[in-house]
């Protein structure tokens, strides 16, 4: 959950397709691409009352836009969006001045509509709506989103890597994206420790390089740092092998990391480390416990739920909690601490209109089996919030705490001294509770995993913790000549 995005509580209704006749309607026209499309185009109209193009705010959790959407099932190149389309608000309740923009989602590999290569955008326009009126607004979506410009020279570079595993799974060429930060004096004649930094939900590899360079590379000058992009159509891949996203974990371990070692003179698993925050924190810990011989150390920061007994504050084990939207006393269930006011019901409403790519659907894509249409089985009812029966049994293979319990005898020797987990005492997105549950499990198992709780509220790695991590990596690298070779 790269949850550094929030919204204030407001009266959004539960997500469902409104079937009333009043309110505005929108016609969106676009040109279908000549190449065959893998997925049905999904067409959106976004409305905001903030400055700037609405498409720029589609994933802004501080101020979520009004989002209305429909699939162009006939692939006709023109759709009408109205009160019977999926929206996170009732269109007949709209009144006032809005910035409006249309999006056509065509990218097969990007989770955010309007930001994937090949997606189409209309020009933003200002519209006025009076409650009860039924105006028709027309949009022509003709601006094509271009591919990002990658850097291929110098210390900081961006690259594509074709994954055979993911290509086989998706039955087409599938590229993993990554950025690399090299030491100032990098030479192919030397060897280097490798730090794998995994971005959180909403993070993008090439956009994270400046921050990683400043806080990690600066303090670990001998290391090669690789930032693999975790984004896929359904959200954050979590680098877990899944029925929906494909074998992201094994593709990283078996394909991308050997490629990094070969191309950038990595020293191999004995001096490879993994770290990340939020969804990147979960992914880094998952990789460390799933492939323990592939890493020398792991620093997981504010990880997504690592013990599903407390999925944030939701008790998934034994089906104790049965509704995502409400607490037992009827209060709205929060996805964040009180002062941020992000509720599950509001967020689920937004995600229903969004389609593939939201944070909640990202969990399903990583952990759930497929339905008969080839999509991940939802883990809650989008209208009522009812949590799916037997959800825990379905997700249990991805419960890190349970994974450690079931495999501890085998895992213990390979995890000795490697695991470091840290979180704020009041994580902004309630992730400290799950970490505390995992700590109890580790103590019961006799694990030497370290747990650190930063004072106050937050959802990040403080600079002091980052320096401690890089100091450990540097010390191990400098002492490599003294280490006994593994048998």
Helix 400-415 to helix 279-290 angle (10° resolution) is: 50
> Two tokens at 408?
């501890």
> Going by C-beta distance under 8 Å and a sequence separation of 6 or more, which residues neighbour residue 454?
422, 423, 424, 425, 462, 465
Listing DSSP states for 417-484 in one string gives TTEEEEEEEEETTSTHHHHHHHHHHHHHHT---EEEEEEEEESS--HHHHHHHHHHHHHHHHTGGGSP
Q: How many CB atoms lie within 10 A of CB 116?
A: 20
Q: What is the largest CA-CA distance in the chain?
A: 78
Write the CATH number of the domain with boundaries 16-144: 2.60.40
d(CA 344, CA 380): 11
Closest CA to 469 of 197, 287, 123, 173: 197
pLDDT on residue 341? 74
Residue 45 CA to residue 81 CA, distance in Å, equals 8
Extract the tokens encoding 267: 């020293």
pLDDT in tens, 131-145: 889 999 999 999 999
Instruction: Determine the Cα–Cα distance for residues 447 and 419; give it in Å rounded to an integer.
Output: 9
pLDDT of residue 320: 77
Compute the distance between CA of residue 365 and CA of residue 358 in angstroms, rounded to an integer: 10
The model's pLDDT over 467-476, given as tens digits with 9 standing for 90+, comes to: 999 999 999 9
pLDDT number for residue 63? 80
**CA–CA separation, 477 and 474 (whole Å):** 5
The DSSP symbol for 184 reads T
Chain centroid to CA 58: 15
SS3 category, 363: helix
Q: How far apart are CA 327 and CA 30, in angstroms?
A: 44
DSSP-derived letter for residue 11 is -
Cβ–Cβ under 8 Å, residues 275 and 284:
yes
Looking at residue 486, what is its pLDDT? 58
Using DSSP bridges, classify how beta strands 136-141 and 175-181 pair: parallel, antiparallel or unpaired: unpaired
* Segments of the chain assigned to CATH 2.60.40: 16-144
| Contact between 212 and 181 (Cβ < 8 Å) | yes
Residue 34, number of CB atoms within 10 A of its CB: 5
pLDDT of residue 22: 76
Q: Is residue 61 helix, strand or coil?
A: coil
CATH 3.40.50.1820 region(s) of the chain? 156-308+397-479
Write down the pLDDT at residue 41: 97
Domain spanning 156-308+397-479 has what CATH number? 3.40.50.1820
Low-confidence ranges of the chain (pLDDT < 70): 1-21, 319, 339, 484-487
Q: What is the pTM for the complete model shown?
A: 0.92
In the numeric block, the tokens 């590899």 are attached to 205
CA distance 414 to 60: 40
């Amino acid at each position: 959950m790269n949850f550094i995005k929030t919204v204030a509580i407001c009266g959004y209704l539960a997500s469902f397709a409104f079937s009333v006749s009043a309110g505005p309607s929108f016609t969106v026209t676009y040109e279908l691409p000549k190449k065959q499309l893998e997925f049905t185009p999904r067409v959106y109209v976004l409305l905001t009352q903030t400055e700037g193009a609405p498409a720029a705010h589609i994933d802004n959790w501080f101020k979520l836009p009004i989002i209305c959407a429909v699939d162009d099932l006939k692939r006709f190149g023109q759709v009408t969006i109205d009160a019977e389309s999926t929206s996170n608000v009732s269109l007949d309740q709209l009144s006032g001045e809005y910035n409006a923009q249309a999006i056509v989602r065509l990218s097969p590999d990007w989770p955010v509509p309007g930001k994937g290569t090949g997606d189409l955008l209309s020009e933003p326009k200002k519209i006025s709506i009076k409650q009860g009126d039924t105006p028709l607004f027309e949009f022509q979506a003709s601006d094509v989103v271009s591919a990002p410009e990658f850097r291929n020279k110098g210390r900081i570079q961006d690259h594509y890597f074709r994954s055979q595993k993911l290509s086989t799974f998706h039955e087409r060429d599938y590229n993993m994206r990554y950025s690399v930060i090299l030491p100032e004096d990098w030479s192919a004649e030397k060897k280097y420790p490798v730090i794998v930094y995994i971005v959180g939900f909403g993070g993008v590899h090439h956009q994270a390089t400046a921050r990683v360079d400043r806080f990690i590379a600066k303090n670990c000058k001998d290391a090669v740092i690789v930032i693999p992009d975790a984004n896929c159509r359904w959200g954050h891949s979590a680098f877990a092998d899944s029925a929906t996203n494909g074998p992201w974990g094994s593709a990283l371990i078996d394909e991308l990391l050997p490629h990094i070692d070969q191309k950038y003179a990595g020293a191999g698993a004995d001096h490879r480390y993994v770290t990340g925050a939020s969804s990147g924190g979960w992914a880094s810990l998952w990789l460390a416990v799933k492939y323990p011989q592939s890493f020398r150390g792991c620093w997981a920061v504010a990880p997504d739920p690592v013990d599903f007994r407390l999925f944030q504050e939701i008790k998934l084990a034994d089906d104790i909690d049965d509704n995502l939207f409400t607490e037992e006393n009827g209060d709205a269930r929060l996805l964040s601490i009180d002062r941020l006011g992000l509720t599950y019901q509001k967020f689920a409403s937004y995600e229903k209109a969004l389609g593939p790519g939201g944070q909640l659907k990202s969990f399903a894509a990583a952990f759930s089996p497929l339905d008969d249409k080839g999509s991940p089985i939802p883990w809650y009812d989008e209208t009522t919030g009812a949590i799916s029966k037997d959800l825990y049994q379905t997700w249990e293979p991805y419960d890190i705490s349970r994974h450690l319990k079931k495999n501890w005898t085998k895992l213990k020797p390979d995890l000795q001294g490697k695991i470091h987990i840290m979180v704020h005492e009041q994580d902004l997105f309630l992730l400290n509770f799950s970490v505390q549950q995992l700590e109890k499990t580790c103590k019961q198992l006799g694990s030497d995993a370290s747990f650190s709780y930063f004072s106050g509220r937050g959802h990040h790695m403080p600079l002091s913790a980052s320096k401690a991590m890089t100091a450990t990596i540097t010390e191990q690298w400098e002492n490599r000549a003294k280490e006994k070779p593994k048998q």
